[in-house]
């Protein structure tokens, strides 16, 4: 697109009306959200800053718009090839001159883009960090006219972050070589420690930080006790999100394959994605997920970072992530369009043991392991809390919500029963102590419930005073209690004896009765416990999605048309228009270009390209 025709000196001054005009004409958006206007004005005026904004909160506009308002080309540093491709496709659809430089390009293709940059024929250029840091690329940038540097996924610069990437450390060179070019660092997830390191490494010490609310109110958080994870997952998808797009995360490649196969067998269109698959297969599965509707991707964390698909209706975890940051970023891929979505996870004692073992066995320094344990403990605390999960989640990022209950998490919708578990904890800790802190859950429960198994008799544990003192509880209840007591820090998995549990410093006070222990009662899983949640979620959906709505047939026709346009242009469907825009058309039924232009998400270029076809579709629907 052509830059706004203003004098160079004027371009260095923030102009709210000019920014709003470009926002509307290019992106079809009527207004800024949150701190976007302030950030855009600050960067357009030549300022550096750090931006923390949740996924779906509009981070991209914070650098895309200043790149259009300032002289020169905005350079976007991103490690994500998929995100680069999708964002560039979306910008081109909106009439913005955008391109990407990464390893997927041929020499001739890369050379052509470099020439366009030097000729001033680009508004935005996306570059991978490892390419940007090459002497050749830095020399080229020194000869170009640059509007700004946007460092996306800035948490990758921090060794304390959940996705540290060594190549990001070298980005400190930007402040040294291009001191007069504004720098904006952006991320959706960063605790205080990570923020400090971003500021230090990217030389943003004197720059303001814009921290938006981390709350994603449209996402329903739910964590259920792990029993048979695949069966629970199939029920969750079939009952709550049939035919909808979703992402399922598993810890191992083998589990990804097994889960995708199980879902496919159950009639759910599911595709595996992990680093062990052939690159062509991964690309094909990713393209199907992006371009088709209702696809479920089952993946390791190798998938999803930077995937800009707006209509993901659920993200499910069959294994515990490493930290709250990882959990927040992964669940944040649901509901980017602002419509109701779900973050659902199965969780059990084995998850804690497995994650602790992975930290213990990692080659990291002791300081790194200590921070990793703290992050894991915080996530376990979120999984075990009996209070509002959203309040706990936001509190981790230093945010205090207005209300102590969100009304859109499992604990708010179906409050768990809590009881005094002091005696239960004392029995369990005594059993661990009497058996020598050498055994795992199954053996401890056998002793507590008075089972004279061969192993119990082999070690003489049937003669201990703790033998049979827990006969009033069943195995499921004891496992739940054991998991919660580990989460409370009164027991810990033994890093040297796999599966065994050891007492902690706080165990003594529990045994003496000096520390209160409150435990959540064992409750039914998703299929029984969440009946009210399901009905409430259904009622929260847009009425356009109701098959009885007059707008529903038009929406179906609009989606079919969108799919055809996406195939024709070789882009994901949501790059043409997202669901919210199509629903706006289906509800308002515009019959003129002016009426169509008033719908959010339709800018000048898209109106010019698609306006006649959309109005014809509306007029052809006589309902």
Q: Assign 303 a pLDDT band (cuts: 50, 70, 90).
A: low
pLDDT band for 592, please (50, 70, 90 cuts). Answer: very high
Q: Extract the runs of DSSP E, i.e. beta strands, from 311-381.
A: 314-317, 341-347
Question: CA triplet 199, 203, 207: central angle to 5 degrees?
Answer: 70
269 lies in the same domain as 381: yes
Residue 531 in domain: no
Position 302 scores a pLDDT of: 61
The DSSP bridge partners found for residue 220 are: 342
CB atoms within 10 A of CB 136: 9
Same domain? For 514 and 567 the reply is no
Which residue in this structure is represented by tokens 């196969």?
Answer: 261
The residue ranking higher by pLDDT, 553 or 389, is 389
- State the Cα–Cα distance between residues 546 and 41, nearest whole angstrom: 41
Q: CB under 8 Å to 106, separation ≥6 — which residues?
A: none
Tokens of residue 14, six digits: 């923030």
Residue 532 lies in a domain: no
Instruction: Determine how β-strand 209-211 pairs with β-strand 124-127.
Output: unpaired
**Domain final position from 192, 211, 230:** 211
Name the least confident of 75-79, 305-309, 328-332: 305-309
Q: Given this model, what pLDDT does residue 146 score?
A: 97
Query: In whole angstroms, how large is the CA radius of gyration of the chain?
Result: 27
* Exposed e or buried b per residue across 354-371, where buried means at least 16 C-beta atoms within 10 angstroms of its C-beta: bbbeebeeeeeeeeebeb
| pLDDT at site 8 | 35
Residue that finishes a domain, picked among 211, 235, 262: 211
Backbone φ and ψ for 450, nearest 5 degrees, come out as 75, 35
What is the average pLDDT across 482-510? 88
What is the pLDDT averaged over residues 311-339? 91
- Tell me what pLDDT residue 11 has: 39
Which of 21-30, 337-346, 574-583 shows the lowest per-residue confidence on average (mean pLDDT)? 574-583
The span from the CA of 80 to the CA of 92, in Å, is 18
Residue 75 is part of which domain span?
8-211
DSSP state of 99: E
Q: Among all chains, which residue has been given the structure tokens 């973050």? A: 343
Chain center to CA of 67: 26
Q: What average pLDDT does this structure show over 361-386?
A: 87
pLDDT of residue 545: 54
Q: CB 392: neighbour CB atoms within 10 A? A: 19
Position 538 in a domain: no
Judged against a pLDDT cut of 50, whether residue 7 lies above it is answered with: no
Q: Tokens 């001033």 identify what position?
A: 120
Q: Are residue 462 and residue 610 in the same domain, yes or no?
A: no
Q: In the prediction, which pLDDT does 511 show?
A: 95
d(CA 501, CA 138): 53
- If asked whether residues 381 and 461 sit together in one domain, one would say no
Query: Sheet of 124-127: strands edge to edge?
Result: 98-101, 124-127, 73-77, 146-151, 183-187, 49-52, 209-211
> Could you tell me the CATH number of the domain that includes residue 191?
3.40.50.300
Residues 6+ apart with CB under 8 A from 420: 516, 517, 518, 519
Which residue has tokens 């109110």?
Answer: 217
- Over the stretch 226-278, which tens digit does the pLDDT of each residue have? 989 999 999 999 999 999 999 999 999 999 999 999 999 999 999 999 989 99
What is the pLDDT confidence band of residue 305, given thresholds at 50, 70 and 90? low
Which pLDDT tens digit goes with each residue over 189-228? 777 888 899 999 999 999 999 998 889 999 999 999 998 9
List % helix, strand, coil for the chain (3-state, nearest 5): 50, 10, 40
Would you say 223 and 347 are in contact if contact means Cβ atoms under 8 Å apart?
yes
Q: Write down the pLDDT at residue 87.
A: 87
**Same domain, residue pair 393 and 437:** no
Residue 405 maps to a domain:
yes
Which one has a higher pLDDT value, 106 or 499? 106
**What is residue 339's predicted lDDT score, i.e. its pLDDT?**
87
Q: Is the pLDDT of residue 525 over 80?
A: no
User: Residues for the chain: how many in total?
Assistant: 623
Residue whose entry in the numeric block shows the structure tokens 């027991």: 491
Spatial separation of the C-alpha atoms in residues 15 and 44, rounded to whole Å: 9
Instruction: Dump pLDDT digits (tens) for 417-464.
Output: 899 999 999 999 999 999 999 999 999 999 999 999 999 999 999 999
Buried b (16+ CB within 10 A) or exposed e, 472-508: ebeeebbbbbbbbbbbbebbbbbeeeeebbbbbebbe
Let me know whether 380 and 491 are in one domain. no
146-151 and 183-187 strand pairing = parallel
Residues 486 and 364 placed together within one structural domain of the fold:
no
409's tokens = 């998490």
Instruction: Tell me phi and psi for residue 135, to 5 degrees.
Output: -55, -40
SS3 for 380-410 is: HHHHHCCCCHHHHHHHHCCCCCCCCCCCCEH
Average pLDDT score over residue span 493-498: 76
Indicate if 333 and 205 belong to the same structural domain: no
Percent of the chain past pLDDT 70, that is, above it, reads 91
Q: Name which residue leads in pLDDT, 528 or 66.
A: 66
- Average per-residue pLDDT for the chain: 88
Report if residue 398 sits inside a domain. Answer: yes
Taking the C-alpha atoms of residue 374 and residue 194, their distance in angstroms, rounded to an integer, is 14
Tell me the range of 356-370, 465-479, 521-535 where mean pLDDT is highest: 465-479
Residue 420 φ then ψ, to 5°: -70, 115
Distance CA 57, CA 214 (A): 9
**Do 393 and 505 have their domain in common?**
no
What CATH number should be reported for the domain holding residue 499? 1.10.10.10
Domain-located, residue 529 = no
- 306-325 mean pLDDT: 87
State whether 16 and 153 are in the same domain: yes
**556: CATH:** 1.10.150.80
- Beta-bridged to residue 76, according to DSSP, are 126, 150
Query: Per the structure, how many domains does the chain have?
Result: 4
Residue 547's pLDDT band, with cuts at 50, 70 and 90, is low
Q: Is 372 a member of any domain?
A: yes
- The yes-or-no verdict on residue 364 having pLDDT over 80 is no
Q: CA nearest 533: which of 220, 215, 216?
A: 220
Provide the pLDDT for residue 336. Answer: 86
In a domain? residue 534: no
Q: Is residue 606's pLDDT more than 70? A: yes
Contacts of 330 (CB under 8 A, 6+ apart): 247, 249, 301, 304, 315, 317, 321
Q: What is the pLDDT of residue 534?
A: 42
pLDDT at 95 exceeding the cut of 50: yes
* Same-domain status, 271 and 349: yes
376 and 474 housed in the same domain: no
- Tell me which of 386, 413, 440 is where a domain ends: 413
Residues 6+ apart with CB under 8 A from 293: 243, 245, 311, 559, 563, 573
């Amino acid at each position: 697109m052509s830059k706004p025709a203003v004098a160079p000196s004027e371009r260095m001054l923030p102009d709210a009306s000019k920014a709003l005009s470009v926002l509307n004409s290019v992106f079809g958006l009527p207004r800024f959200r949150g701190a976007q206007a302030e950030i855009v004005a600050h960067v357009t005026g030549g300022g550096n800053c750090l931006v923390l904004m949740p996924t779906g909160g509009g981070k991209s506009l914070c650098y895309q718009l200043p790149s259009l308002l300032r002289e020169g080309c905005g350079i976007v540093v991103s490690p994500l090839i998929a995100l680069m491709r999708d964002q560039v496709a979306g910008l081109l659809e909106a009439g913005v001159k955008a391109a990407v430089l990464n390893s997927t390009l041929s020499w001739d293709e890369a050379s052509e883009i470099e020439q366009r940059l030097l000729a001033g024929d680009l508004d935005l250029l996306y570059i991978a960090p490892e390419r940007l840091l090459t002497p050749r690329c830095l020399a080229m940038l020194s000869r170009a006219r640059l509007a700004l540097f946007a460092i996306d996924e800035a948490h990758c610069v921090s060794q304390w972050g959940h996705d540290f990437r060594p190549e990001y450390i070298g980005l400190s060179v930007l402040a040294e070589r291009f001191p007069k070019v504004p720098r904006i660092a952006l991320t959706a997830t960063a605790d205080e420690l990570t923020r400090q390191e971003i500021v230090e490494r990217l030389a943003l010490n004197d720059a303001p930080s814009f921290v938006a609310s981390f709350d994603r109110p449209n996402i329903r958080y739910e964590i259920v006790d792990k029993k048979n994870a695949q069966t629970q997952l199939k029920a969750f998808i079939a009952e709550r999100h049939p035919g909808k797009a979703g992402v399922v995360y598993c810890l191992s490649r083998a589990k990804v394959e097994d889960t995708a196969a199980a879902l496919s067998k159950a009639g759910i269109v599911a595709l595996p994605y992990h680093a062990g698959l052939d690159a062509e297969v991964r690309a094909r599965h990713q393209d199907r997920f992006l371009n088709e509707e209702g696809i479920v991707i089952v993946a390791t964390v190798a998938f999803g970072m930077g995937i800009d698909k707006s209509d993901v209706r659920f993200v499910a975890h069959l294994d515990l992530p490493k930290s709250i940051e990882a959990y927040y970023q992964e669940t944040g891929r649901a509901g980017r369009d602002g419509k109701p979505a779900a973050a659902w996870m199965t969780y059990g004692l084995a998850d804690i043991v497995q994650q602790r073992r992975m930290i213990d066995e990692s080659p990291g320094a002791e300081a790194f392991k200590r921070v990793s344990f703290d992050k894991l403990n915080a996530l376990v605390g979120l999984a075990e809390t009996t209070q509002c999960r959203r309040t706990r989640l936001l509190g981790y990022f230093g945010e205090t919500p207005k209300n102590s209950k969100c009304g859109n998490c499992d604990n708010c919708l179906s409050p768990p029963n809590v009881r005094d578990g002091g005696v239960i904890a004392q029995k369990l800790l005594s059993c661990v102590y009497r058996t020598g802190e050498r055994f795992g859950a199954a053996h401890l429960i056998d002793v507590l419930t008075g089972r004279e198994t061969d192993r119990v008799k082999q070690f003489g544990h049937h003669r201990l005073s703790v033998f049979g003192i827990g006969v009033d509880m069943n195995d499921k209840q004891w496992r739940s209690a054991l998991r919660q007591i580990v989460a409370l820090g009164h027991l810990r998995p033994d890093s040297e004896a796999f599966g065994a549990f050891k007492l902690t410093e706080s165990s003594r006070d529990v045994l003496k009765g000096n520390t209160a222990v409150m435990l959540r009662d064992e409750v039914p899983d998703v299929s029984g416990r969440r009946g009210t949640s399901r009905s409430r979620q259904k009622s929260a959906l847009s009425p356009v999605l109701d098959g009885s709505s007059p707008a529903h047939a038009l929406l179906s026709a609009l989606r079919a048309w969108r799919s055809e346009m996406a195939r024709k242009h070789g882009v994901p469907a949501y790059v043409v228009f997202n669901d919210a825009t199509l629903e706006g058309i289906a509800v308002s039924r515009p019959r003129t270009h002016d009426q169509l232009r008033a719908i959010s998400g339709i800018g000048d270029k898209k109106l010019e390209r698609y306006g006649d076809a959309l109005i014809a579709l509306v007029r052809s629907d006589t309902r």
